[in-house]
Amino acid sequence: MCQFCHKHGEGKKWYLQAKNYSDQLLSDMNRRRYILDFISDIGHGHVSKLENTFRQALKAPAWMRHLFYSFYEKRYQRDHFGQVVPMEDLERVLDLANSVVLMPCICRKNTTGKNDATYCIGLGIDPEKLLDVKEAFLETFRPGPDVKVFQKLTKSEALSIHKKFEKEGLIHTLWTFKTPFIGAICNCDRADCLAMLSYQYEFRLFFRSEYVGQVHEESCIGCKACLAMCQFGAIGFSVNRRKAFIDPVRCYGCGICRTLCEQQAIELSSRNGHPIAHKLW
């Protein structure tokens, strides 16, 4: 299990513990201040500055770069860190949240300049009740008078939206705001997500999921549809066997590859029981 499961889940999946979604955690003033600063800083930041930082880091010796990364990764684990979560666990997460709200994506506001890219789901962070959070969003996005910034969702509606995102190839990630409080589900890709941008430069802002993918060769017909879905480059194709396969070293266990597999030849199994992937987080 990932570090957070031991620290914040008593040896169980930390994101399935109701205490990590509690209003009591959200009422902490330091956490609320962090959320407000996060909305403002990320919403008005410049991706080019972040990417330039990573490019400069590539010029440093590998040992120095990874030492630098290790320091800041621990800092982010304390403040704002994520984990990949597949659909089956996402259903249980939605049961734990006090409110579920569809809202604009701060990452995509940063990378594309679009104010209406609604790819994020607030968990417990209901802007209609948290007026300071609402004001911070409105200040950052400055929507027009006819634009609905926040949309309350039922569990069924949220699941439907996430299934739509899966078909588009987006992975689901849970995020903390001052760990262990879980405040959002993001739906990410390598083009516009700041966490995925960081991942490409080997700077980790999220854990892999508690699962790892596996292809059942007897069911795979070699159509290659799954190859295009993987955000992590973990799926390959054997020309000799005419079968797809999943590299457990690269797999993040998001399960998105299953979406286009009409043969249902791909399944997720526990990362803990995998001989290679159990130590890869």
| Whole-number Å distance between alpha carbons of 84 and 199 | 13
| Whole-number Å distance between alpha carbons of 18 and 138 | 29
AA identity, residue 94: L
Alpha-helical regions (H) of 16-61: 23-26, 29-43, 47-57
| Tokens at 127, concatenated | 């802007």
- CA quadruple 71, 72, 77, 80: dihedral, nearest 10: 170
- Of the ranges 129-133, 139-143, 149-153, 202-206, which is most confident? 202-206
Per-residue pLDDT at 69 exceeds 60: yes
| Tokens at 61, concatenated | 């010796």
Domain 211-279 classified CATH 3.40.50.2300? no
Beta-carbon contacts of 121 under 8 Å, excluding residues fewer than 6 positions away, are 100, 101, 102, 103, 153, 158, 161, 162, 184, 185, 186, 187
Please compute Rg for the chain using Cα positions: 19
Mean pLDDT of 122-143: 82
In this prediction, residue 98 carries a pLDDT of 87
pLDDT confidence bin for 64, thresholds 50/70/90: very high
- Per-residue b/e over 7-23, b at no fewer than 16 CB within 10 Å? ebbeeebbbbbeebbbe
pLDDT confidence bin for 251, thresholds 50/70/90: very high
Stretch(es) of the chain classified as CATH 3.30.70.20: 211-279
